[in-house]
């Protein structure tokens, strides 16, 4: 098997050096099959591009890391609203979400107001200290600890 592959590679290289067009080859189950890109797998090929779609696609700046400056108030019970202030939260298309360390990944209700402000409702969680993680296009930011009070 190794010799066959070596010979095939040698043949393709010599054809390419001689200026001969080389067809696309695909290794499948020990043999070589002539293929046609993704259509070989039943997937339609990309045909051109749509300039309108490209113009509407969001451009998320991954170099701007988010930062959490403060959370107000720093004590709240489940169901109460908090305001997260910071920077580089991005746009709604590039913003990924908010999580509380005390809830173990449970969904959190939030509203991205703008690039520097998020409103969030404290989810059901045990009373105690928790961190808030903000995940934006440029990465993750963690708040200082806040106190989740019992209902």
CATH number of domain containing 71: 2.60.40.10
Q: Are residues 34 and 75 in the same domain?
A: no
Q: Is residue 44 part of a domain?
A: yes
> Residue 143, SS3?
coil
Q: Are residues 76 and 124 in the same domain?
A: yes
**What does pLDDT average to over the chain?**
80
User: In the block, which residue shows the tokens 């300039």?
Assistant: 51
Q: Is residue 89 part of a domain?
A: yes
pLDDT digits (tens, 9 = 90+) for 75-84: 999 999 999 9
Per the CB < 8 A criterion, the answer to whether 138 and 66 are in contact is yes
Q: Is the pLDDT of residue 139 over 80?
A: yes
Q: Are residues 44 and 79 in the same domain?
A: no
Q: Is residue 37 part of a domain?
A: yes
Q: Which range of residues forms the domain containing residue 102?
A: 67-148
Over residues 23-33, mean pLDDT: 48
Inter-CA distances, 120 with 27, 47, 58, 80, 94, Å = 53, 43, 24, 8, 17
Q: Cα–chain-centroid distance for residue 69?
A: 24
């Amino acid at each position: 098997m190794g010799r066959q592959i070596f010979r095939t590679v040698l043949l393709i290289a010599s054809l390419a050096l001689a200026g001969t067009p080389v067809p696309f080859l695909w290794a499948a189950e020990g043999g070589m099959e002539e293929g046609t890109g993704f259509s070989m797998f039943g997937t339609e090929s990309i045909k051109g591009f749509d300039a309108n779609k490209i113009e509407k696609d969001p451009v998320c700046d991954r170099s701007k890391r988010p930062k959490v400056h403060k959370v107000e108030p720093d004590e709240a019970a489940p169901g109460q609203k908090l305001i997260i202030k910071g920077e580089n939260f991005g746009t709604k298309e590039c913003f990924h979400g908010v999580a509380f360390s005390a809830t173990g990944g449970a969904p959190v209700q939030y509203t991205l107001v703008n690039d520097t402000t998020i409103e969030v409702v404290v989810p059901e969680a045990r009373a105690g200290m928790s961190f808030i993680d903000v995940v934006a296009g440029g990465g993750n930011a963690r708040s200082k600890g806040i106190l989740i009070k019992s209902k």
